[in-house]
Structure 1
Amino acid sequence: MSDPAALLPDGLAAAVETASGARIAAVRPRGGGGASREGAELDLAWSDGRAASAYMNYDVHRAGAGDDAAFLREAAILRALSGPLAGAGVRVAPYYASVPEQRALVCGLVAGRDRFAAIADPAQRDALAQDFMAQLAALHRIDVAASPVEGMGPVEPAEAYIRRRVASLRAANGGQAWDPLIHLSLDWLEANVPTDMPAPVIVHGDAGPGNFLYEGNRVTALLDWELVHYGDPMADLAMLCLRMLFQGFVPLPQAFAAYEAAGGHRVDLARLRYWRLLFQTGFARRSRYDDPDAPPPPNLGMNLVYSTIHRRVLSEALAEAAGVALPAVALPDAAPGAHERSFAIALDDIRDTIVPRLADQQAAVKAKGLARLVKWWRAIERYQPGFHEAEKAEIEGALRRRFADHAAAWAAYREAVAAGRIGTAPAIILCNAHEAREATLMADAMGSLAATKFAPLE
């Protein structure tokens, strides 16, 4: 019999066995949490005769969201909701073990499906959405002043979280990778911090469709707690808006009404919009996968899709928040590139030969991610030269200078934003045009996600 440990990164199986007190009898690699983590199903066996199937997320390269402290908070909340806070009624997968050194979290398998959009019956969709919003309300009703979660750190006002998060994002936005879109968004966020926020609650941090399991009309478990923190309950409703960029749900006014009816906080749309922009700014940080010092992502194709969508949507949301009207973006057409046929053959091979023969689900997911990259490279060859010419002309008009090439123009634009030598409105307009063109290059790879926008709040 082959060694199950061989299917996991070096040392991970032994560490899980030590932390859980169980022997790993079998390993089945699976896709991980979104684009940020890898995963595996485990069969666990204890010396006293107990056995269980479990799911493990792991991020040994630290390529995912959050940091080591965030991982400890995630493990802490699952341990608490499986134990001392179980009476709150928030349904989670039972906690078994965690390995902080490899960001591995092991919880029991829970019955249920995760594709809310696959539900065809409107009545079931409405009832399930109502139960999900009731789960958020139950989480937000936990009295953290009386019962702080061991391992989640001190309970602090939501404003402290905002100030720390903005400072962290600003500190990370530096060096050669300095990003004008992130800079402009952080300027607005820093100048418009909400006032009169309620006492802090436990915020799931990534709540929405795709991050809960269900059977029938009932949520069986809330998933993916890697962004959990203490803060404003409106933060979870804002994250629901972000999740809906990628997966369908019921209309937001209906969801908000269900949340309030279940005993949740009064929905404050102004605060919700603020949190939506803050989270979007964090997710929109430019990918560093061409940096040899950056960790490799679990699925580069999907990571780039998510990053591209977040950046385009951020540029639009920032313009709305700042009251900037966005003009139409010039997207010059071009003939297929010189390597069009080579790209087409590679895509056909992946779709028709490679993916159908892959029994390993994790390998199949990565093969599809590779197909997205091939589509992106094909679009870069075809469209990028014309897009660069259009952007160069726009920057020359805004800065009233001529440049030798696109690289020089873009560098001058970045310098003007950093030094405050360009007005906020023209700076945001140029950022939006840049992100719209980047999204167009990724459009074929994004498929149905290419035109996604925030759902209406009211």
Structure 2
Amino acid sequence: MSDEEIISNWIAQHMGARVVAITRQARWRAAWLVDAERDGVVLPLVVRGERGGGIPMQFPLHHEMSLQRVMGEQGIPVPAVHGWIDDLPAYVMDRVDGQPGFDGLTTEQRDAVMREYMAELAKLHRLPLEPFLEAGVQRASSPSEVGSYGIGQFEKVWRAGKNAPNPLLEFVLGWLKRNPVDTRGRESAIVWDSGQLHQKDGRLVALLDVEAGHIGDPMMDLAAPRMRDTVLHFGDFETLYREYERAGGVPVDMDAIQLHHIAFTLTNELAFRNSLNDPEPDSDYMTNLHWCSETNLHAIEALGERLGLQLEPPEIPEATVTRAAAAHDQLIHMLRGISTDDEYIRYRLRVAFRLARYVQREDEIGAELTNADLDDLASLLGHRPHTWQEGDAALEQFVLADDGRHDEQLCQLFYRRQIRHKNTLGPLGSAMVAHHTCQPFPARV
């Protein structure tokens, strides 16, 4: 039985409705857009499944459904949950109207939506914990772990599948463990990966995508949007934090928000790097690589800001014309010229096109940038590794043994490495290479 037949049968049996249209979304996570009909009324639905491409979840999908269901029962605007399809697995929810960004709105309308959003976060953070605990929503086992529970879940999943050295993650995770968040006793239901919402005509419709939500430090919900702001532009965060407090939120703790922000910048690397090292055929390699590249730069920029550093970028070499240049051009033009009416095939062609441009750029400048990375290691390690694999392994061992003694030097080194890597993702001027910095934090007193 196909996935679509399983969904249609479940909706007929559990909702008494007939599916009239069903479309698999063209994206990296399994999801279906469904129109069902009951008593002459169209029911727009979403069936949300698990990640594909060998990318594990940090919290079970059923946990996500349970949190969303309780949030709705407690008056938080989220898509209503209709139930669980064990045979996929997936869960069924309403498909809400609206859009995730602010296109077409004035600044004043955008600000009004964000006031509503901050008020809903404040309301969520005031809710009693008991209904969430009764539904099985996870929390830290001790008060000292509340501030690190979410990032700890990401780290646990990454370490369980770790398949190559990762000196960047070991460096920033180590720094965070030496500089833990003091939650001052705060604990509430949180969406964690906050800033995901739908609005329509300047009014908030719903909070979306609570896959990483749990019971934790409410300051995390004020930190996570700082990265998403580089794309969606939520407005000035100090103003948003005042709106949150005015709506009844817990007192804003800027030190905790900054530490949570640094932690959150690691989540793409933690979630996707093992898959990138050994990708499955159906993974969206370039989307995941782009996310990691962008947010790894955010991580080093955020840590550099915390340490008070002026980060110095490296020089990027001119492109070299290799023997493979003509073949790369041919492949890119072939992929650009293929057209189809099938949305999912168009999506996969776009993945292939971006892969081709990445491989082309690596062919042009990759060897010179790899040599620059290895040259950088000589002064730190006392020797120059022969290959990038040897370099990554040696740098990871240095980081693990260092215990913070070279934080500033390492931050500068990782910044240069990340800038170099970012410049291999596509041609100059392309969206894959562009970098958008986060809003700075106010100066610490």
User: What TM-score do you get using the length of structure 2 for normalisation?
Assistant: 0.86
Aligned to 2:84: 98
Deviation of residue 110 (structure 1)? 1.6
What are the equivalent positions in structure 2 for 1:10-25 lying under 5 Å apart?
22-25=17-20
Once residues 337 and 16 of structure 1 are traced to their aligned partners in structure 2, the CA distance between those partners, rounded to angstroms, is 56
Question: CA 1:192–1:406 in 2, change beyond 3 Å: closer, same or farther?
Answer: closer
Aligned to 1:302: 287
Aligned to 2:96: 110
- SS of the counterpart of 1:284? helix
Contact 1:76/1:150 (8 A) holds in 2: yes
Deviation per residue, 1:69-126 (Å, 9 max, x gap): 44222101222233x32xx3x211121122366442221122212222x234222222
Whether 2:440 is the aligned partner of 1:450: answer no
- SS of the counterpart of 1:27? strand
Once residues 154 and 120 of structure 1 are traced to their aligned partners in structure 2, the CA distance between those partners, rounded to angstroms, is 38
Q: 2:267 aligns with which of 279, 282, 292?
A: 282
Once residues 279 and 232 of structure 1 are traced to their aligned partners in structure 2, the CA distance between those partners, rounded to angstroms, is 13
Once residues 403 and 81 of structure 1 are traced to their aligned partners in structure 2, the CA distance between those partners, rounded to angstroms, is 52
Deviation of residue 300 (structure 1)? 2.2
What are the equivalent positions in structure 2 for 1:336-375 lying under 5 Å apart?
336-351=321-336, 353-354=337-338, 357-375=339-357
Aligned to 2:194: 207
Question: CA 1:283–1:19 in 2, change beyond 3 Å: closer, same or farther?
Answer: farther
Once residues 151 and 193 of structure 2 are traced to their aligned partners in structure 1, the CA distance between those partners, rounded to angstroms, is 18
Deviation of residue 340 (structure 1)? 3.2
Q: Percent identity?
A: 20
Contact 1:260/1:267 (8 A) holds in 2: yes
Aligned length: 437
Q: 1:433 aligns with which of 388, 393, 416?
A: 416
Deviation per residue, 1:233-281 (Å, 9 max, x gap): 1101111112123322212222222222222222211100111111222
Aligned to 1:225: 210
- SS of the counterpart of 1:363? helix
Question: CA 1:364–1:52 in 2, change beyond 3 Å: closer, same or farther?
Answer: same
Deviation of residue 401 (structure 1)? 1.8
Whether 2:42 is the aligned partner of 1:58: answer no
Read off the aligned partner of 2:416 and give its amino acid letter. Answer: A
Contact 2:304/2:310 (8 A) holds in 1: yes
Question: CA 1:203–1:339 in 2, change beyond 3 Å: closer, same or farther?
Answer: same
Contact 1:95/1:108 (8 A) holds in 2: yes
What are the equivalent positions in structure 2 for 1:90-169 lying under 5 Å apart?
90-99=76-85, 102-116=88-102, 118-145=103-130, 148=133, 150-153=135-138, 159-165=144-150, 168=153
Question: CA 1:322–1:230 in 2, change beyond 3 Å: closer, same or farther?
Answer: same
Once residues 409 and 62 of structure 1 are traced to their aligned partners in structure 2, the CA distance between those partners, rounded to angstroms, is 28
Aligned to 1:412: 394
Read off the aligned partner of 2:182 and give its amino acid letter. Answer: T
> For the aligned residues, what is the CA RMSD?
3.1
Contact 1:57/1:104 (8 A) holds in 2: yes
Once residues 217 and 341 of structure 1 are traced to their aligned partners in structure 2, the CA distance between those partners, rounded to angstroms, is 50
Q: Which runs of 5+ in 1 are unaligned?
A: none
Read off the aligned partner of 2:26 and give its amino acid letter. Answer: G
Contact 1:203/1:236 (8 A) holds in 2: yes
Whether 2:247 is the aligned partner of 1:262: answer yes
Whether 2:44 is the aligned partner of 1:28: answer no
Once residues 62 and 199 of structure 1 are traced to their aligned partners in structure 2, the CA distance between those partners, rounded to angstroms, is 36
Question: CA 1:186–1:410 in 2, change beyond 3 Å: closer, same or farther?
Answer: closer
Once residues 415 and 108 of structure 2 are traced to their aligned partners in structure 1, the CA distance between those partners, rounded to angstroms, is 39
Read off the aligned partner of 2:194 and give its amino acid letter. Answer: A
Question: CA 1:91–1:121 in 2, change beyond 3 Å: closer, same or farther?
Answer: same
Once residues 406 and 140 of structure 2 are traced to their aligned partners in structure 1, the CA distance between those partners, rounded to angstroms, is 39
Whether 2:168 is the aligned partner of 1:181: answer yes
Deviation of residue 182 (structure 1)? 0.9
Once residues 170 and 99 of structure 1 are traced to their aligned partners in structure 2, the CA distance between those partners, rounded to angstroms, is 29
Once residues 256 and 100 of structure 1 are traced to their aligned partners in structure 2, the CA distance between those partners, rounded to angstroms, is 40
Contact 1:388/1:406 (8 A) holds in 2: yes
Deviation per residue, 1:212-253 (Å, 9 max, x gap): 111112111111111111111110111111212332221222
Contact 1:212/1:220 (8 A) holds in 2: yes
Question: CA 1:328–1:112 in 2, change beyond 3 Å: closer, same or farther?
Answer: closer
Aligned to 2:365: 383
User: What TM-score do you get using the length of structure 1 for normalisation?
Assistant: 0.84
Q: 2:304 aligns with which of 292, 307, 319?
A: 319
Once residues 262 and 215 of structure 1 are traced to their aligned partners in structure 2, the CA distance between those partners, rounded to angstroms, is 22
Deviation per residue, 1:43-77 (Å, 9 max, x gap): 3356x87752211222264745633x442221012
Aligned to 1:41: 33
Deviation of residue 320 (structure 1)? 2.9
Aligned to 1:77: 67
Question: CA 1:199–1:17 in 2, change beyond 3 Å: closer, same or farther?
Answer: farther
- SS of the counterpart of 1:97? strand
Contact 1:199/1:232 (8 A) holds in 2: yes
Deviation of residue 365 (structure 1)? 3.0
Once residues 302 and 165 of structure 2 are traced to their aligned partners in structure 1, the CA distance between those partners, rounded to angstroms, is 20
